[in-house]
Chains A and B, each alone.
Chain A
Amino acid sequence: MNSHRILDHPVLGKLTIEKEIPFTFDGKKYTGYEGDTIASALLAQGIRTLRVHEESGSPRGIYCNIGHCFECRVTVDGTPGIRACLTELNPDMIIESGKQQFSPFKSTENQDDLPRTYAEFEKQLKGEKEDEPDV
């Protein structure tokens, strides 16, 4: 689709496309252009949300676009924490957005409820799921 490209520019001239690059993001197929970063290829498709905040789940996209803020972290071919704004798009990259993570220590109101071991944490997790079958 790439509908957000600036094809014509009064000073910089016409956009020359050397090569198309296929990739997937969260399981869907897209194409970008040679010279794209992951962030630019996604934005060209209108995709702005690259991850959600690990705790709150609120959406995040690029901020600085030059590698300083680490807001654009995605998982590329299984490696997490990759900055989308610095990383060159390569053919057939499998890109996953950053997901919400568990916060097992947030309920400090009752100390006894805190899981002590990972096994306890998993048990609590299962318990929650049984409580709310629709999630």
Chain B
Amino acid sequence: MTNKNHAEVAIIGGGIVGCAIAYYVAKAGIDCMLIEKGDLASGTSSRCDGNITIVDKDPGFDSLMSLASQELTAELEKDLYLPFEYRTQGSILVCDNDAEMEVANEWVNIQNQAGLKFKLLDHSDIRQESPYFADDIPGGLECETDSLINPYLFCYSLIDRAKEYGLKLHTRAEVKQVSKKEEFLIETTNGSFTAKKVVNAAGVWAPFIGKMLDIEIPIKPRKGHIMVGGRQKPIIMRNVMEFGYLMNKFQRERIADPETLKHGVALVLEPTESQNFLIGSSRQFVGFDARVDFNVVQTMARRALRFFPKLDDFNIIRTYTGFRPWTEDHLPIISAVEEVPGFYIAAGHEGDGISLATITGKLIEEMISGKETTISIEPLRYDRFKRKVVHM
């Protein structure tokens, strides 16, 4: 009875979000397929870091969503067969100056009041974190529940298990046209498919899929660079970001040199399981230009040296860029679309797609099955942008 070219639910996009949706939908026993234009994780999900963090989320809905995701990821470690370099070591933020230290102090208080496991770190704690830190770092903060994964492996691991639950996988199939009569017709470069419901999980490319159904999706690419530092001696055990990262993320004012500010550069240093180091990152709106910008890379390297001056003899083995699917209010769209019944959007996770993938998958499954959702989906609705336009 199972038809290769038809399913109850078709998911477009095999990034971390599409893979997580495929996993939860298949696990719920729903007949589903995933359609991806290249290989799995060939979009943003292989051109990023792997942090599942709360440390950088606004207290409230944002941090609640991340916490739910962290708990789900811990469950997944038991259900998935292929390991995905999952590490629960917490993560830290470091401050550049005393002014940041003051805000950090407030930040910790607010997060603690919200019941989250945050702790302020002083100068001597910072020395415990890594002997390679600069001496003048005043301190920082820790979030105990944060974890790390390898997003690329995670995608393959999710799909490996989802296939066991019955998922049909179509890779190297670029969706060219989507139309709807009684059911959806999805035409690709590798065959045509039909489905009752369609989930648009095409990340930064979701607007193109939307357009095929005359749906405008306000997501823009926000480019980021990452350098890969070659393996050497261990430097630090867990992910570290600078507090300035938060300032950038929420477009708040931050004190740093002009180049750093211009390219939206803030230190992120993630030690991977193989002991390479992902050093990031930048935030820029430059369309879909994926070229490595050497000025940005230099600025990032300078920023890394500000915090880790002894890294100056490190080998950088490669540099890459990725596009964060940005939305205006920094929240993803995880929503049904009223105009086209049966059409869902799960995209626009900007710099949090790794953190929020599992909860997104779970929510979409719950929406499709008509269950009560794990967390409120009000703030994630597609029509929130339209409402705003009307009010203006």
Contacts and interface: CB of A to CB of B under 8 A. Distances in A.
Interface of A: 54-55, 70, 79-81, 101-106, 108, 111, 114-121
Given A54-B231, A80-B315, A114 B275 contact: no
Given A81-B315, A117-B128, A108 B86 contact: yes
A117 B234 CA distance: 11
Contacts of A114: 87-89, 237
B237 A54 contact: no
Contact of B87 (A80, A101, A111, A118): A111
A75 to B, nearest CB: 10
B83 to A, nearest CB: 7
Interface size class of B (residues with CB under 8 A): 20 to 34
Contacts of B129: 117-119
B254 to A, nearest CB: 27
A103 B87 contact: no
B313 A118 contact: no
Interface in B229-285: 230-238, 271, 273-275
A102 B231 CA distance: 10
A79 B313 contact: yes
Contacts of A119: 128-129
Given A79-B313, A115-B237, A54 B86 contact: no
A101 B232 contact: yes
Given A108-B86, A108-B87, A116-B89, A101 B128 contact: no
B383 interface: no
Contacts of B275: 54-55, 101-103, 105
Given A55-B275, A80-B315, A118-B129, A111 B237 contact: no
Contact of B128 (A55, A70, A81, A118): A118
Contact of B273 (A108, A115, A117, A121): A108
Contacts of A55: 231, 274-275
A10 B237 CA distance: 58
A117 B237 contact: yes
A39 B141 CA distance: 47
A46 B85 CA distance: 40
Nearest to B236: A118
Nearest to B127: A119
B43 interface: no
Contact of A104 (B86, B128, B237): B237
A81 B233 CA distance: 12
B21 to A, nearest CB: 26
A111 B275 CA distance: 17
Contacts of B237: 104-105, 114-118, 120-121
B369 to A, nearest CB: 31
Contact of B232 (A80, A105, A111, A120): A80
A121 B230 contact: no
Contacts of A79: 313
Contacts of A106: 273
Interface in B151-168: none
Contacts of B131: 118
A101 B86 contact: no
B90 interface: yes
Nearest to B125: A117
A101 B235 CA distance: 12
A73 B313 CA distance: 14
A105 B87 contact: yes
B139 to A, nearest CB: 14
A96 to B, nearest CB: 13
Given A55-B275, A108-B87, A116 B238 contact: yes
A79 B131 CA distance: 20
Nearest to B231: A54
Contact of B90 (A81, A101, A103, A116): A116
A24 to B, nearest CB: 20
B112 interface: no
A103 B130 CA distance: 16
A38 to B, nearest CB: 17
Given A80-B313, A118-B129, A104 B83 contact: no
6 closest A-B pairs by CB: A81-B315, A119-B128, A105-B273, A118-B130, A117-B128, A111-B88
A18 to B, nearest CB: 33
9 contacts: A55-B231, A101-B234, A103-B275, A104-B237, A106-B273, A108-B86, A118-B129, A118-B236, A121-B237
